[in-house]
Amino acid sequence: MRQISRGLVTAGAVLVATLTLPGTAHAAGPTVRDAYSDQADWSVLDVRLNFSGEVSKLVARLRPAGSSPSDAPVATITDFTKRYETSSWDAIWASQPLHLDTLGDYTVDVEATDGSGETTVRQDAGTLHYAKQPVFSGFAVTPAEPDIEHQTITAAGDMVVRDPSTRETEPLPGASVELTFDGGSGKATVVTDEAGHFAVPHQLAQAGWVFADYNGGLGFAASPWIDVEPQAAPTRMVLDRSSFHVTAGEKIKVTGTLQYQSGAEWKPLSGIPLEMDYKDCSTCSPVDTTTGADGRFSFTRTPYGSKSVYRIAFTSYTPFARHSTADVTAAVTATTKFSAFTASLDKYAQLKVTGTLDLIGRDVNDQASVDIQYSPNGRTEWTTEKTVKAGFGSQFTVDKIPGYTDGYWRLRYAGSSTKDIKGTTSNSLRRNRALTRIKDANASPEPVTKGRTITVKGVLQERAVGSGTWKAYGSQKLQILFRPKGAKSWYLMATVTTKGSGSFSKGFTARQDGTWVPVLLHPDSKHFVGGGAEDYVDVR
């Protein structure tokens, strides 16, 4: 701070003076470093000595500046008091205010004697500037202890010119005075009125020193330093609601009133910047607001995660209020949805399902039970055909689920009350194929003589989805299979194409006993496989 810095400058000047002296041997007596007018009172002579032990005598002789050292002094000063020490071996002695007949600059010759009687004399040790001095008078700051209801202070005083001989003063009008507030961060400049008076109001921003400087044609002057310490009022945040329970994606609105204590009363505190952020945040994401004239504040956030605790706090320092905080809790019910749901029905009426169960409003690594459900009409009679485990956010695939020729399929997650997760149901998908059959399938004659011809024939038919009528299914390739007597495997004997009427006929040479059957093994994506009745033929 300013007073400390002056001390540092003084001590530094002493040290520099010591280090830059010529490398001659020190006299046995004290070493005279400097002599000059005291900054606060130019009629006071300050003498700086470098010493060891006691200084028993100090004499300063004044002569007009520019005169010869042999000229007689106009004044001899012997009344000195040690003012302060800059170190254990360096100190400043100050005289009483001097009363000289003539204003002006005077060269100072100094004689210093230590306790052993050793004396040092230094000619031209410095200059006494004996002139009318600008000084501050009556400098004060009001109120001395500002508070939240009195935040504006006024720094006021008078600039006067003091005669060093008579100590009389006269006003100094038109003087430019610089004032420093807020511990150095606030500045203001004012010009004294005809009476040398000045008064500057200032909205205090922080505690610290307040002082004034003058640096004009008459020289430099500084006021006393006044430490202004505001009285901080207790505060509190009164929340309209301190806890919330919402569904993922919903916003919460946190409102309340910031108040300060004035005596036994709590009053609204306006114009205070506040922020709300996670109480223990690793990745901070604050939202900001400023209290209104009624002390009210409002924050809007979209909570994430099962439970969040937010803290409302002051964002910047104010010397007039003790900082307070308030906590808000937000629980979030996570929601779910199915995405990328597909279902396919193969030619054997087996279902394959894929899908992803997405979790909204939370990050977890849990698994959920997903039901694969069927309904004949897509509205009622939903039954669970299979339940699988699926990780949230990960695609799952389930195949070879026994299906139906026609119907609706969907995915369902029941949710979890213990984990506060809502369930969900996917859209439904209708999956079906047309039925096929081979009517009047027959292998003849039977029995048959070995080497003769066996004829396999029949009619391929289809029944469209939603229809109860069988119709001819022509121009389709059928496979005719044969299983020898006593064997377990079927053998493909021929592939035939049905006529437009769906009929077909194919002859084979009879070689051994066995069973014949025509089948539709490779239908298109809209039909199931189909076949005729198996027919055993005895070959003799």
24, pLDDT greater than 60: no
Phi and psi for 174 in degrees, rounded to 5? 70, 15
* 0.85 surpassed by pTM: no
With cut-offs at 50, 70 and 90, classify the pLDDT of residue 22: very low
Instruction: Please answer whether residues 135 and 162 qualify as being in contact, where contact means their C-beta atoms are separated by less than 8 angstroms.
Output: yes
Residue 13 confidence (pLDDT): 37
**pLDDT single digits (tens) 430-482:** 999 999 999 999 999 999 999 999 999 999 999 999 999 999 999 999 999 99
Distance between CA atoms of 147 and 192, rounded to whole angstroms?
28
pLDDT per residue as tens digits for the range 479-524 = 999 999 999 999 999 999 999 999 999 999 999 999 999 999 999 9
Which pLDDT belongs to residue 284? 84
Confidence of residue 178 (pLDDT cuts 50, 70, 90): very high
Give the CA distances from residue 476 to residues 127, 346, 459, 490, 508, in Å, rounded to whole numbers and listed in that order.
128, 18, 11, 21, 20
Question: Over pLDDT 70: what percentage of the chain?
Answer: 95
What single-letter DSSP state applies at residue 24? P
How much is the pLDDT for 28?
64
Residue 4: its H or E element: helix 2-19
Average pLDDT over residues 352-364: 95
pLDDT for residue 240 is more than 70 = yes
* Helices then strands, each counted (H, E), the chain: 1, 43
2 pLDDT band, cuts 50/70/90, is: very low
For residues 77 and 125, is the Cβ–Cβ distance under 8 A? Answer: no
Residue found under tokens 């009195």? 150
Q: Which residues are within 8 A (CB) of 145 and not within 5 positions of it... i.e. 6 or more apart? A: 229, 230, 231
To the nearest 10°, the Cα dihedral for 272, 277, 279, 280?
A: -130
| Percent above pLDDT 90 for the chain | 90
CA distance 465 to 491: 32
pLDDT band at residue 20 under the 50/70/90 scheme: very low
Residue 495's nearest CA partner among 456, 466, 528 is 456
Phi and psi torsions of 505, nearest 5°:
-155, 135
Average pLDDT over residues 342-356: 97
Report the C-alpha gap between 478 and 241 in whole angstroms. 75
The residue behind tokens 């400087």 is 213
Residue 35, both tokens: 């002599």
- The residues with which 505 forms a beta bridge, in sequence order, are 457
pLDDT higher than threshold 50 for residue 525: yes
Amino acid occupying residue 468 = G
Contacting residues for 171 by C-beta, under 8 A, at least 6 apart: 158, 159, 160, 161, 192, 194, 195, 196, 197
pLDDT for residue 343 is more than 70: yes
Query: Of the given ranges (6-15, 383-392, 411-420), which has the lowest mean pLDDT?
Result: 6-15
C-alpha of 481 from chain center: 75
Return mean pLDDT, the chain. Answer: 93
The pLDDT of residue 3: 35
- The pLDDT-based confidence of 8 (bands split at 50, 70, 90) is very low
In angstroms, rounded to a whole number, what is the distance separating the alpha carbons of residues 357 and 368?
Answer: 8
SS3 string of 344-382? EECCCCEEEEEEEEEEECCCCCCEEEEEEEEECCCCCCC
Rounded CA-CA distance 97/79 in Å is 10
- pLDDT higher at 19 or 221: 221
Residue 320 has pLDDT above 90, yes or no: yes
Residue 426 in this model has a pLDDT that exceeds 60? yes
Residue 102 has pLDDT above 50, yes or no: yes
Furthest CA-CA distance within the chain: 168
pLDDT bin (cut points 50, 70, 90) of residue 280 is: confident
